[in-house]
Copies of this chain bind each other. A is one copy, B any other.
């Protein structure tokens, strides 16, 4: 490999090693200091460049891709505050174990802390929220340094996709010339081909391992959990998701019902046909319902903490052995009622356990959950088309139910914080249809939602639907630029209740002021002009117009291009409708005993 100058050589060798390591796309925001990296990525035939303008959106876009695929999409930015705009996505990636590779261009060392323009302290910029940080040495066309560079590239991918996956930050200093300007004598003619690599392709190959139990430990665990009453609790999945077939095999062998978070990767898909997959627990695990139920003997949990507070509270008050299965050995269980931490990859563990279990547990126990589940969906169906306020289901619930039902196959559905993921949790019914449902539940922010969704969509040929509230839509409106710029297509279902609807769920609702002015904070924005700005089709339907929504959504997903379907709702009415529906389910089940 040769190049017109040392910077170009350095960047091209680095990008080459990344590409050999499997990197097929990169997100770049324009800037001067990062020119060598940008040029090297742009000229590499095997790497697709997504060009963004807002670094915050760019980082969330890369996060979305990596969340969908489990693969690294590197990010490039110039020096200065550009790099700080990555920070929110870095934290989300760290907490939800999504691989990221942050390549921040920097000035050479002597210009740091010197008053030089656009120069900030980028060292360890993201603090402890990365798996690995390294300040690269200054570029030089020297075999040993180039070997160290290629090793760093390979290690960065390995660290980012390790256990747990997460962000890696490499700070990359360059001094001028930044362009591929020929510099006499900068790159020796006799530099070994492929920068001292002795073989074709990657200079370094990484073979990852994952934590697994020994055979004795596995048998002992299988004995412990061979109990009549068990539960599987599948929380939001780490990228690229848990294996639905493994969960199905375990559920079949154990007879344990699977409480499947909408983001767990196991609520939807072919395995649901043969697996007792439950999605209504947020409604029926109310203390008034479960008061007379026996406790489970054993609970197997994997993934992050479940979205449903009702479920978390239920688990906290049951007297059961609760095993948290986590390949990274982190104890993600904030009620502190788990009794065991099992450090193992859940898919492999469940598959192996399913071969060793003593036999299916209590059928009565399973039927109890299935009956409660049925009651929840019956209550929903009974009033899904009701128009009167007293019996209506919340429009947001219908929207999530309809999207889960109507989305084309296969679909990637992205659900925003704070309300859509909760409504998906309660109203997106388990189905055998092919849906990959994703959300940002690492830090559960409402930032970067549009970009994360579009990034996830960019990684597949799935139809992409984003369901978002108005605050999250507003917060990352800049992300919509990717629709045209990155040739992405999406249907955005925008649930507009003009402000922070979630605050109606909190006691602060009773205190006004400051409730309206500082919490709900209606903005009064009419989002239709965003369609003109970003060249989207725009349809608006009233929250109580179910048929209108179903038609508009079906039309949007069937048509070319990108679409916004706005559903206008009233947060307070919806909150009351959620409460009333919940009460109807609880009353019905409490009557049944």
A residues near B (Cβ < 8 Å) are 28, 30, 32, 35, 38-39, 42-43, 49, 51, 53-56, 80-82, 84-85, 87-88, 90-92, 95, 110-111, 114-121, 124-125, 127-129, 177-181, 304-305, 330-334, 336, 441, 443-445, 447-448, 471, 474-475, 477-478, 481, 484-485, 500, 502-503, 506-508, 510-511, 513-514, 517-521, 523-530, 532-533
Contact = CB atoms under 8 A, between A and B. Distances in A.
A285 to B, nearest CB: 17
25 contacts: A30-B521, A35-B508, A35-B519, A38-B514, A42-B518, A53-B475, A54-B475, A80-B91, A81-B88, A81-B92, A81-B445, A81-B447, A82-B445, A85-B447, A87-B87, A91-B120, A95-B120, A115-B332, A117-B444, A118-B444, A121-B129, A180-B511, A481-B525, A529-B533, A532-B532
Nearest to A56: B56
A503 B111 CA distance: 22
Given A43-B513, A115-B332, A179-B508, 15 more contacts: A28-B518, A35-B508, A49-B517, A54-B475, A80-B91, A80-B445, A81-B448, A115-B330, A115-B331, A127-B127, A179-B506, A181-B507, A475-B478, A526-B533, A528-B532
Contacts of A116: 305, 334
Contact of A30 (B129, B181, B474, B519): B519
Most buried by B among A35, A90, A506, A514: A514
Given A95-B120, A115-B332, A43 B514 contact: yes
A251 to B, nearest CB: 24
Contacts of A118: 443-445
Contacts of A518: 28, 30, 38-39, 42, 49, 51
A340 B77 CA distance: 35
Contact of A523 (B178, B330, B474, B485): B485
A172 B386 CA distance: 46
A310 B5 CA distance: 26
B523 A481 contact: yes
Contacts of A502: 32
Contacts of A471: 53
Contacts of A42: 513-514, 517-518
Contact of A332 (B32, B114, B500): B114
A396 to B, nearest CB: 19
Contacts of A511: 39, 179-180
A574 B542 CA distance: 49
Nearest to A484: B524
A332 B115 CA distance: 4
Given A51-B518, A445-B82, A510-B179, A114 B30 contact: no
Contacts of A484: 524
A179 B507 contact: yes
Nearest to A78: B445
A557 to B, nearest CB: 25
A503 B33 CA distance: 11
Nearest to A85: B88
Contact of A305 (B115, B179, B510, B514): B115
Contact of A117 (B124, B305, B525, B529): B305
B115 A444 contact: no
Q: Which 7 residue pairs are nearest across A and B when measured between Cβ atoms? A: A115-B332, A116-B334, A81-B445, A42-B514, A529-B529, A529-B532, A81-B88
Nearest to A532: B529
Given A518-B30, A530-B529, A53 B474 contact: yes
Contacts of A81: 88, 91-92, 443, 445, 447-448
Given A117-B305, A304-B115, A84 B80 contact: no
B80 A444 contact: yes
Contacts of A121: 127-129
A42 to B, nearest CB: 4
A174 to B, nearest CB: 13
A308 to B, nearest CB: 11
Contacts of A82: 445, 447
Nearest to A502: B32
A38 B520 CA distance: 12
A508 B113 CA distance: 27
